[in-house]
Structure 1
């Protein structure tokens, strides 16, 4: 049986300030950003911290007036997609903290604490949106979607299994698997839902909600970048897990996630005029390829290197996509296939 990780101690002055490993190592618990094992983690910290915002800052005045005029299909999709997002972002707050608890690198703990806080605000933002436009009964029903909708329950089976396995058996392998699913969640699972809100905004509907979603989307992009980098660094420190079996597992999870996201998009968007579901499937595959490259792997889907839904870019804030050469003091052989080629625009 694989050795269980222990929760990192809070303060151990006899250990060095610079951690000896991301997980299962030693560190004093004292964080000196000028003396950390992975100096470029500071850049991620600054990028993520720069994204601070609050849901209450978004003006929902026009959305309150527009929601009753949406078609029945649009209202249904609106409420169910909010339910989906809440189903994922609530547990994501928890999983970020659980990763933090078992990391023996204080810089990772600090960054994951910020990510957890932002995920908490995302979850709050869904309640804020619904409280602005819907009755209390509809709000409660929307948040029940993740517990009752059979398509959504099927869609979330594997992420629930992987996250709960990590919670019950915190091992290096399970934390690696959890980071894969965290990257999937941040970089793929939300995106047909995000596209729906951008589609509404494209037609001058629910623009306040779309602005809120763009802030969340921007956060998730940065979270996905860091989680993917943490995955690659953890695998580099634990090369015994860098096997064909594990890499095949990762590819298998991506294939399954794309299938489920495609099924979900066809289910939830089938009554929405103006959204091309075939184009949406291509967009989902494009997102999967991008996240695989972030993890250091190769594309799964041929001819999906360009975003087939280019109009979406207008609704997402730009961010720093500079292709910096990271890990200058570390081995670059993170995974046997491919190399990180940067993180360009959405």
Structure 2
């Protein structure tokens, strides 16, 4: 019999002869549900009377409750400055004449091994410069909740498109028709070691895209961090190693125009990798729980995996042990040297202990400052149309 206060003098369990109905113990079993507020998105509807965002609200990822469309306030000034610097240094492939390389390509100046190295090189780099913007669009962008970073990443996408145009321009300048170009661009899909290397990065992109974790949660941030680490390795290790193959040819007076194109691409990629490192550090600073011992061990494991992939790549594109001026052993040592720098930059213990740069000559092809460059000299410039060569 029920009293008015809801209590009963009868044994409820004996009355129902089995499982007690959930409603009967509603008060006892009710749990508080954590409400997860969605992170800010550029797709959020506009609300009349909404307040302007404040710097205190803004987070690099997982920010909530403010309008992402507004470019101020700028909380992360270093990112804003990086965007402005990159905009000043925009260039186009047509700025660099390709006549010397065209002559060498069409008059048999390259050995068979050098031709193979070049073809596989430009094929992989073209795929790579497609991977980066695709990863930004599909995996990264939805997580970023600081307008200045979103603005810079849009510029990165434009630069990567310019790099792809550079590779296309190089092959077009050699006089290759669409079929000839297509055969070269397709090579990365025909070599198992290059396929494995491309798929390595795609694995992390897809993990972020397919995650059901709420944006801004630790689980989502861990997947994001792994992806960012893989692409930091991509731009800091894979790209420079790839460029070094062509720089080695240029040191012998071959494909020097192509090497000039690559030097400008390298400058862009250096900025991208610096931004990637900054982004990783900022995320871990604002979300320290994701940068635990397990994630740090994972980061070192990713670096080690990358060196193994680069080693296999080297043997696939230089099957005879290298070319004149670029032995595979030296190339792999360079990969390990760069890998140790990746670890140091992340505050991690180096993996290989390579302290001396195995290929110091590669710095001749950097364009960060006024440098001697082949037979001429290139000076820093404001736009691509202001290139000055002595």
State the TM-score, normalized to the length of structure 2.
0.76
Q: CA offsets, 1:213-268, max 9 Å, x none?
A: 01111111111001110111011111121111111111101001011101211221
Distance 1:4 1:203 in 2: 59
The answer on whether the counterparts of 2:41 and 2:67 sit within 8 Å (CA) in structure 1 is no
Equivalent-residue separation in structure 1 for 2:37 and 2:97 (angstroms): 47
**Aligned residues of 1:97 and 1:112 also touching (Cα < 8 A):** no
- The structure with more radius of gyration: 2
CA contact (8 A) 1:5 1:172 kept: no
Give me the CA root mean square deviation: 2.2
- Structure 1 counterpart of 2:288: 239
- 1:276 is aligned, of 315, 319, 327, to 327
Kindly state the Cα deviation for residue 138 of structure 1 after the two structures are TM-superposed.
2.5
Partner of residue 143 from structure 1, selected from 185, 191, 206: 185
Could you list the per-position Cα deviations for residues 292-321 of structure 1 after superposition, in whole angstroms to 9, with x for gaps in the alignment?
A: 23333332221x23321011111221359x
What does 1:149-160 correspond to in 2, within 5 Å? 149-160=191-202
Query: Is it true that 1:63 corresponds to 2:101 in the alignment?
Result: yes
**Separation (CA, whole Å) in 2 of partners of 1:93 and 1:38:** 22
Which residue of 10, 26, 41 maps to 1:8?
41
Match of 2:165 in 1: 124
Distance 1:210 1:7 in 2: 43
Q: Indicate the SS of the match to 1:190.
A: helix
1:318 matched to 2:359? The reply is: no
Q: What is the deviation of 1:14?
A: 3.4
2:115 equivalent to 1:75:
yes
* Native 8 Å contact 2:101 2:257 kept in 1: yes
Return the match for 2:155 from 114, 119, 122. Answer: 114
Alignment gaps of 5+ in structure 2: 1-35, 371-390
219-228 or 311-320: bigger deviation: 311-320
**C-alpha deviation, 1:79, in angstroms:** 1.0
Secondary structure at the aligned position of 2:342 is classed as helix
Residue 340 of structure 1 corresponds to: none
Q: 8 Å contact 1:97–1:113 — kept in the other structure?
A: no
Closer/same/farther in 2, CA of residues 155 and 96 from structure 1, 3 Å limit: same
1:130 deviates by 1.3
Partner of 2:261: 212
- Structure 2 partner of 1:296: 347
For 1:195, the equivalent position in structure 2 comes to 244
Residues 229 and 295, structure 1, Cα contact 8 Å, conserved in 2: no
Matched, 1:94 2:120: no
Q: Which of 169, 189, 205 in structure 2 is aligned with 1:163?
A: 205
Show the counterpart of 1:255.
304
1:26-71 Cα shifts (integer Å, max 9, x gaps): 33224445x3222222232233323311112111111111113211
Aligned to 2:223: 174
Q: Mean alpha-carbon deviation: is it higher for 169-178 or for 275-284?
A: 169-178
2:90 is aligned, of 36, 52, 61, to 52
Q: 2:270 aligns with which of 200, 206, 221?
A: 221
Give the gaps of 5 or more residues in structure 1.
321-346
Name the count of aligned residue pairs.
316
Distance 2:165 2:40 in 1: 28
CA distance in 2, matches of 1:168, 1:6: 18
- Contact 1:17–1:29 (Cα < 8 Å) also in 2: no
Distance in 1 between residues matched to 2:342 and 2:82, nearest whole Å: 17
**Secondary structure of 1:100's aligned partner:** helix
